Every structure is written in C-alpha cells, then in structure tokens.
Structure 1
C-alpha cells in the first residue's frame, strides 16, 4: 500500500494549505480558544497553516506543535514565529500530558485512525479535551453539474484510499471518537457555500483550496489509469466553471470535540 502523503510536499501544496486555513479560519476555529497557561498539543501541524490561527486565538496558552516531516516543520517555524514549541515526532510515539489536543486534517491520511485516537487519549489529563476537524469529499456538490468533475473528485478519493487514508472520514468522527473512549463526544457540520455574491470564498475556497487540491493529483491519477488525460482536463475545467458568475459550490467540514474521563 502506498502510504505517502497524497497531496505531496510541494510549494503549491504549502500555499494551498495556507489559503485554506486563512479562508476558513472563522469557520473552523470559531468556538476554539484555550485558557492562559493551558498545555495544548497540535497533532500534525504540517506547515503551520492552522497553528497561526490557534496561536492568534489562544496567545497565552502553552502551545506545542508536532509533525513527522522536518521540512514541514521548518516552514511552520518560519510561518508562525515565536510563541510555539515545535517538535518532530510520529503521532504514535508522542508522550507527555496535555490539557487539550487539536487535530486538523490528520486522521484522513491515517490507515488506523481508531488506533491514533486511542493513543492520543493517553496524552490527555483527566477532563482534558480533544478537538478534531476533518472534511468529507462526498459532501461536495456544485452547479453547473458535471459528471467529469465528480469523476475527478472520485479519483482523489481513490488515491487517498490507496495511500491508506479516507477522504470521506468527516462522517465517521462520532463513531471514531466514541470507540476510542472519549466522553461527551459532539460533532457539528461546518458548511462552506460559495457563489458570486461571496467572492472571497469563491477565490479562497472553491478555486484555491478545493479545485487546487483536486488539480494537484491529476498527473498521478492519469499515470495510474484512474482517468484519461482528456477526461481529467474536462473535470478540472468544469470545477473551475463553478467559480463563474452563475456557479455555486458547497462543501461540509465536520468539527468534533470530546473529553477524556
């Protein structure tokens, strides 16, 4: 099984992650702020795109951000600046005790998300909290309707599954956290809807986040026979078509919280 990060560690991908985090900061981070002095661990911080917003909302928390990639951590340090302790570590080797955990767009890339959550629970003090944010590519629908665009999204879902992940994991957050033993599990949808009356979302999400994400795996999808070159080009073009004056785009993220007993 291919276990590489399906989107790749490239400069365009780092920019896409930053665009996504900045565009969706209020949507994803609303309701998340940690008290001064509390020990907060961000698991899988990547290039620090979400770390910036965690720090802005909880400037006096003791924030530690970890990632397995040294290259991503170097970019995160440059992006975030002081105020955060960065560590290189694999999720399954993490230790210590924390008051709060923040896990955003990480479980979708793991072959064993249940095992990951069970381990993360051991890092929380009794009464500590976890916040998990994930997307679900099955929630993407748009106008003008396009079977070619849907097929391109389907290719991304299949590539992520082949890498050991699950691009549809948002719908699974409640059973995953419940099975890991978290108490008071709550999940709520955080929906993005973009049309011409919301140009910032059209640019920041539809074009620069979602369509860019799909477009970025095109070479791999064609090389692996999941799509023809012409079919892929048509699908991406139709996704871009949704950013036009009469286009609309909808996507749902899921934000879950739980508590360690």
Structure 2
C-alpha cells in the first residue's frame, strides 16, 4: 500500500487558522470557474479541516459532495466548519487513504484535489488511482502552489533561505513544495486527457491590505514561521539567520513592500476505458 507522507505543517490550531485564512482570502482567485451542476456527485480528496470545502459547497449548492481525509481530527473540524457556514450543504464525510477509497468504480462525476499532491510521495500514482472512482468523461480539478514562485520587494537572500528551509523539509519528508510547475506532465502522465493548466497569481502591495494580511502575513509567512524548530533541529539554518529571514519576509508586508506568488490550477477529463 502506498501512503501519504506526514503533513509537514502539522495539525495545530495555528495551522487550522492559517488554512482558513488562506482559503477565505483566495476563494475568488482559486475557485473562479469551478462550479458543479445540480445533482452531480463530487469527491473532494484530502479535504483537511474543510477550508476549501466551504467554498466548494457554497459555489455549487445543489451538487452532492463526498469529502475524504486520512485524519479523523481534521474531518471533525471540517464537518463543524461546513455546518457553521453552509448548514444546508449536501456533504458526506469519509476517513480513508486516497489509495484505498471506499467507493465503487465510476462513482463520481467530478474530482477536486487542492493542496494535496504536494504532500504525497507518489503524486502521479495518486492521480492514476483516483481515476477508478471517476466516471469516463468526468472532470478532474487540481490546484497546487509552488514556493519557487515567491518573489518580493525588498528582496532578501535571508528571506529566500528561510523559504528554502521549508522546501527542503518537505522534500525530506517525501513531498514537493515546487509541485505546481509540474502539474501538466503529472496529470497527463496519470492518463487524463484535455489537460489545461493555468497560473493563478497572487500579488500583494500596500494598496491591497486584504491580501497583505490574509495571504502574505497570515498564509505564506505563517507557513514558513511554523517550521522554525524543525529547520533548526535539522541544521538547515542558525537562529540568527532564521530570525533575519523572517524579519525580512515581514518587511515585504509593510506599506512599501510587495509580494508575489503563483498557484497552478489544472482541469482535465477522465477518458473512456480502453
């Protein structure tokens, strides 16, 4: 059996808040163009704490969703989040490994996979396995980030080094924080057709305070800050260099700073069998 790697960001209350901030701040950017017809059956793979689920069900209120995650704690949080924000949503909840999904073949019309593949040791095999539960002609939507796409002003070698610590830690755990740039060959290699990948760019400056707070500070910098102890324990940096890098990252969120990051969104179709 192939299993996911440990979630590098952990399962703390801080991480739950960060995921919520990210989903809410980027909802229009990431979910634009994603809407499912009434009565269609949609599987969200790796729903986590339900941060994206809320926006999925809100955008497609008449669709029927199944949300899967390997963590029982995350599923409990997801259920509570959706109940609070979308109490009339049609959602069933399932604890399962995505390589051993408890659904019949061709059960779903659509699959939605967001910020999951980067945490898997075998992302292409995961996409291939998911085809079993997607009907022929059904659609796949995948969204991933790419930490190599982060650039900012004022530029700082120390800030880039702090980001690199997170990238290296995720790689050591078997994941890939640079996966966004690989989506097209990954999805194509897993056997899907009509694959289209497009960038979804976040740009934040002093004229966009919502993005500065919701993304630069509360999503991206908060994510990098969370790996401090692991980076130090692994000898990837020193306390002095780390603290300088984090200070410089926060400098990009001031009135005369700027921050840029790119997500990648893939759409594809499951071809007929044979």
User: TM-score band (shorter)?
Assistant: over 0.9
Distance in 2 (alpha carbons) for counterparts of 1:227 and 1:70:
34
What is aligned with 2:185?
175
Residue 219 (structure 2) pairs with residue 209 (structure 1): yes
Establish whether residue 256 from structure 1 lines up as the match of residue 266 from structure 2.
Answer: yes
Cα offset, 1:121, TM superposition: 1.1
- State TM-score, norm by structure 1: 0.98
What secondary structure is seen at the aligned counterpart in 2 of 1:159? Answer: helix
Is the partner of 2:236 in helix, strand or coil? coil
Residue 122 of structure 1, CA deviation: 1.4
* Structure 2 residue aligned with 1:88: 95
Matches within 5 A, 1:1-261: 3-81=5-83, 82=87, 83=89, 84-94=91-101, 95-96=103-104, 97-261=107-271
Q: Unaligned 5+ residue runs, structure 2?
A: none
Distance 2:92 2:142 in 1: 20
Q: Residue 253 of structure 1 aligns to a residue in which SS?
A: strand
Compute the RMSD of aligned alpha carbons.
0.9
Cα deviations by residue, 1:126-149 (Å, 9 ceiling, x for unpaired) = 100000000000000000010000
**TM superposition outliers: structure 1 runs of 4+ over 3 Å:** none
**Whole-Å Cα distance in 1 between the matches of residues 118 and 136 of structure 2?**
26
Residues 191-243 of structure 1, C-alpha deviations (whole Å, 9 max, x = no match): 00000000000000000000000000011101110010111111111100101
Q: Where does the alignment leave 5 or more consecutive residues of structure 1 unmatched?
A: none
Give the total of aligned pairs: 260
Structure 1 distance, partners of 2:172, 2:5, is: 8
